[in-house]
Amino acid sequence: MKPEQLELMFPLMVMAILVWASDELSEPRQTKNVSLPATNNPGDYSPRQIPISSRQKEWTEKAVRRYAEAQEKKWRNWNKAMFEPG
């Protein structure tokens, strides 16, 4: 870019940053509502605590393990393509 173009763009960039910053400051921050965990009673099941069978647990563990292996392979291939000379 030519210096003249930068001189023209600088005020626009400053204005854009100021508008963005004022917009960020004007929005109320959302805070998380933290609640204490409920006591565990064996007879009380909430919809989130549906008991699962041992077979479902095995399937879940297998799926998580396979997902982790696939991600590891993906990142290994990515690192090899990006950083190792071919």
Is there a domain that residue 18 lies in? no
Q: Residue 51, SS3?
A: coil
Total domains in the chain come to 1
Q: Whose structure tokens read 């690192």?
A: 79
Q: Which residue has the higher pLDDT, 49 or 66?
A: 66
Q: What is the C-alpha separation between 41 and 39, in angstroms, rounded?
A: 6
Is there a domain that residue 86 lies in? yes
What pLDDT is attached to residue 38?
Answer: 58
Mean confidence (pLDDT) of the chain: 80
Mean pLDDT highest for which of 42-46, 56-60, 78-82? 56-60
Helix H segments across 1-86? 3-26, 54-83
Is there a domain that residue 70 lies in? yes
Residue range 4-46, pLDDT digits in tens = 777 888 888 888 888 888 877 776 666 666 666 655 555 555 6
Q: Stretch 34-60: mean pLDDT, rounded?
A: 73
4-24 burial: b if 16+ Cβ within 10 Å, else e: eeeeeeeeeeeeeeeeeeeee
Is there a domain that residue 63 lies in? yes
Is there a domain that residue 7 lies in? no
Is there a domain that residue 74 lies in? yes
